[in-house]
Structure formats: C-alpha cells, structure tokens
C-alpha cells in the first residue's frame, strides 16, 4: 500500500509539529537545525530531509510509530497482517501488545487507508475479547466506517462484512450474522476454500439458527483445513461441536466417531474446559440412545470439571434431569431440580426449562399442563429452541392423548406446534 501521495514528508513534519503544538523555533532547537532550514524544509524549498533527520523529528514529537515514508507504510502494512494473524490465532496477549504501537497511526491524518485497515482489524480484536465495553467500542468504529470508499477493494470489504457479522452474532441476530458472513464470502476474490475462519463463522451462525446439517458441512470442511498455523478454533472444540450436531440430528454413529477424537485430544492436552464439554456430549449421546444410566455416569463426571453456575453447569443439570425423568427416579429428580432452580435464578431460559421438567414429573396436575401449554412451550418455540420445545411438546401430547375426547382441540393445537417444529428442523437440516 502506498503512502498518501498528496502529502510529502516535509508537509507531514509541519502537520506533526502543529498537532503537537510546537513552534518552529522549539523544534529547530530540539533537532538541532537552523530555523530557516527547518522552515524551508516544511515549505518544500529544500530537498527531502535525510532519514536520520526524519527519525529524529519523529522521536522528538513522539510519533516514532507513525509511518512517514513510503517504506514505513509498506513495513506498517506487513505488521498489520501480522496483527490480524495473531487475532485469528487467538493470541490475544501478543495482539494487544502489538496494538500499543500500531494504534499510533491514528494520531496523525497521514494514512487514511492504513488507519481504516487498522480500525477493521482492531474491531476484530475488540470483539474477540468479548467484554461489553470493547464490543461497544467496536460497534462505534464500524458504524462510523465509510465502506463506500472501498467497494472495489476485496480486503476491506471482506473485513468490514466479517466484522458486521461478528457484531450481529454478539447481538444474537444469527440470521443477519449469517447474511453478513455470506457477504464477506461474496466479496472475496478467491480463497474461500482455504479460509478456515469464515467456514467456522458461517457454521456458528447456522448452529445458532438450529441448522445443524449445513453447519456441519462448514465445520467438516473447516476441520479438513485445520492446521496449527491458521486455525481460529481449537481442533478439539470443532470435533466436539460436529459431534454435538450429529447427536441433535440423530446420527449417533458419526457423533461418537468425532466425540471420541475430541475427548482423546482434550485429555491429552489436559484442558479442563474441553474435557467437560466432551463429557457433556457423551451424556447427550447416551441419553438419546435411551441409555439413561450411562448418560448419568458421564454427566456426573462432567460435574467434576464444570464451573459452578455456568451455562455448562445448567446444561448438565438439565440433561441429567431428563435422564432421571426417563428412569422415573422421582426422589432423585426432586432433589436435583431443587438445586437446579437455585442455579438458574439468573437465567430465564433455564428457569423455565427446569420448571417444565418439574411439570412433566407431575403431568397429571392441571397446573402443570397449563404451565407447559401456556408458558414453557411457547417460550421455547419463540426462542427457536427446537430440541427442547419438541421434547416437552411430544411428552405433553402423548399425555393429552390418554385424556379422552375433551382434549381434542388442545391435542390438535399441540400437534400443529410439533408439525411446525419438525418442518423448521427439516428445512434447517436439523434432522439430517
């Protein structure tokens, strides 16, 4: 990338001095250099100053990390590429250290293209860090970004739409996230088949939408591209997500293949987070095979690794509750739900799901039926939680069908709910 050709190095020296609030006399004395010589330099009446003089002025004014010359710009662009690679590799500590010097480019209005590219990559880092403050900072940068200047530049267009996708994903607008990630793909001149991060981004959006089959196509393709040098998601996490999706689609054979690989890798690297995730997936695998005791065995192992009160903690309790319900272990279920409801106080979703499990255990009670019909199932359908909404709907329907003709309207209504859930799951590839 070339330097801004409308500004000479001499003009940049004057702008830097003015922004810093230094007089001509003060800078000339600090260099040192004659006042008239410096004045003629800034006016372009003298030939380009030596590189040593440029570096001295940069150091004095505190702009040594801002590219002044064309060579500086080329070096800076290479460093930006390194910055992006660190973010993609999730080496955030190194990326943050690099950002401390790269960010100085924003101090002077010399290189608008490089400034914009820095902002695009910085947005990626801010969102990767995931805190509210950083995400809002990234949002402000993207909202102020004028992408119309770069419609013919695939590098900028890709990064812009990728960032828009990340923001939408953070906002839980997964459909829009997928559209932005697809736009990023469309703006690439070539290379999608080798772009690991975009495969995973598209897969994450599809997963969140419940389109597990198409998500797995992106994940498996990205998995095949995996290498330690360019991955954006650890290998064990990818295998575990692929396995979890196969479980949701009822393909337990392929699920176990990927899950075995993920668990073996997690144990070998002694990563407690991934050991926990794979154990939970094993629990779901055996629950879906109606092997309740084996499922509970794995879920209890997962509890040894899970962070107290985390989403994983709630998910383990929810899966274990379904297993105990299947086994009709009422006493153990009541004890588990008492603990689970305390853990779920900060989560509306899990509060409703645990209450719904409790209602299933007392399904002959009219209040339980009413809660399932009017609160739990409508909420889960609205949240696009197809797996959970289908689980509760089918059990409730089976119960209502034993109640006689007086429940025909409610049976019909619930049948329609289930039909729509299945239709959505089939359209999304959730059922394979």
Q: For position 28, which CATH number holds?
A: 1.10.260.40
**Domain membership flag for residue 33:** yes
Q: What is the pLDDT of residue 228?
A: 47
Q: What is the pLDDT of residue 54?
A: 92
Cα separation, 354 vs 360, whole angstroms:
10
Is residue 103 pLDDT above 70, yes or no? yes
**Domain membership flag for residue 19:** yes
**Domain membership flag for residue 274:** no
Cα separation, 248 vs 42, whole angstroms:
68
**What digits encode the pLDDT tens for the residues 261-295?**
999 989 998 888 889 999 999 999 999 999 999 99
- Take residue 201 and report the two structure tokens written for it: 């981004």
* Helix, strand, or coil (residue 415): helix
**What digits encode the pLDDT tens for the residues 182-193?**
999 998 867 787
Q: What is the pLDDT of residue 367?
A: 95
Q: What is the pLDDT of residue 229?
A: 43
Which band of pLDDT confidence, cut at 50, 70 and 90, is reported for residue 231?
Answer: very low
| In the block, residue with structure tokens 């003009």 | 11
Q: What is the mean pLDDT of residues 132-156?
A: 94
Cα separation, 65 vs 59, whole angstroms:
9
Summary mean pLDDT of the chain? 89
**Domain membership flag for residue 15:** yes
| In the block, residue with structure tokens 């006399």 | 25
Q: What is the pLDDT of residue 2?
A: 43
**Domain membership flag for residue 337:** no
**What digits encode the pLDDT tens for the residues 376-402?**
999 999 887 888 899 999 999 999 998
Is residue 360 pLDDT above 90, yes or no? yes
Tell me how many domains the chain contains.
1
Is residue 234 pLDDT above 90, yes or no? no
Q: What is the pLDDT of residue 269?
A: 87
Q: What is the pLDDT of residue 377?
A: 95
Range of the domain at 30: 9-64
**Domain membership flag for residue 60:** yes
Which band of pLDDT confidence, cut at 50, 70 and 90, is reported for residue 42?
Answer: confident
Predicted TM-score (pTM) of the model is 0.72
**Domain membership flag for residue 386:** no
Angle 308-294-273 from CA coordinates, rounded to 5°: 35
Which band of pLDDT confidence, cut at 50, 70 and 90, is reported for residue 430?
Answer: low
Range name among 232-246, 324-338, 356-370 with the lowest pLDDT average: 232-246
Which band of pLDDT confidence, cut at 50, 70 and 90, is reported for residue 316?
Answer: very high
Burial class (CB in 10 A: 0-12, 13-18, 19+), 302: buried
**Domain membership flag for residue 25:** yes
């Amino acid at each position: 990338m070339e330097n801004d050709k409308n500004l000479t190095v001499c003009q940049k020296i004057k702008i830097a001095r003015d922004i810093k609030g230094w007089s001509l006399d003060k800078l000339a004395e600090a260099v040192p250099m004659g006042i008239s010589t410096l004045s003629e330099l800034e006016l372009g009446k003298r030939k380009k100053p030596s590189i040593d003089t440029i570096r001295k002025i940069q150091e004095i004014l505190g702009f040594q990390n801002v590219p002044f010359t064309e060579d500086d710009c080329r070096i800076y662009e290479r460093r930006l590429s390194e910055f992006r690679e660190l973010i993609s590799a999730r080496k955030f500590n190194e990326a943050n250290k690099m950002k401390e010097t790269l960010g100085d480019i924003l101090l002077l209005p010399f290189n608008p293209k490089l400034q914009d590219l820095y902002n695009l990559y910085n947005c990626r880092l801010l969102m990767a860090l995931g805190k509210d403050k950083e995400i809002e900072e990234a949002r402000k940068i993207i909202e102020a970004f004028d992408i119309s200047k770069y419609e013919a530049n695939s590098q900028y267009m890709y990064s812009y739409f990728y960032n828009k996708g990340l923001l939408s994903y953070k906002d839980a607008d997964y459909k829009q996230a997928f559209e932005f990630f697809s736009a990023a793909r469309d703006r690439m001149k070539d290379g999608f088949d080798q772009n690991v991060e975009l495969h995973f981004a598209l897969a994450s959006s599809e997963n969140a939408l419940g389109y597990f089959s198409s998500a797995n196509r992106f994940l498996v393709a990205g998995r095949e591209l995996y290498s330690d040098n360019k991955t954006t998601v650890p290998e064990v996490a990818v295998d575990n997500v692929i396995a979890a999706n196969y479980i949701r689609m009822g393909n337990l054979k392929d699920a176990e293949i990927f899950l075995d690989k993920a668990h073996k890798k997690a144990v070998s690297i002694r990563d407690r987070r991934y050991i926990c995730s794979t154990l939970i997936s094993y629990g779901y695998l055996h629950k879906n095979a109606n092997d309740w005791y084996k499922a509970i065995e794995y879920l209890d192992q997962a509890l040894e690794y899970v962070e107290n009160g985390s989403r994983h903690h709630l998910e383990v309790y929810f899966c274990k509750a379904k297993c105990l319900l299947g086994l009709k272990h009422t006493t153990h279920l009541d004890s588990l739900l008492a603990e689970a409801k305390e853990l779920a106080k900060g989560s509306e979703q899990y509060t409703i799901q645990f209450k719904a499990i409790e209602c299933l255990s007392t399904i002959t009670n009219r209040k339980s039926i009413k809660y399932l019909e009017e609160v739990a199932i409508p909420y889960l359908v609205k949240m696009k939680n197809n797996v959970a909404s289908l689980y509760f709907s089918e059990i409730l329907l089976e119960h209502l069908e034993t109640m006689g003709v007086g429940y025909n309207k409610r049976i019909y209504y619930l049948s329609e709910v289930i039909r729509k859930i299945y239709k959505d799951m089939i359209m999304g590839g959730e059922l394979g």
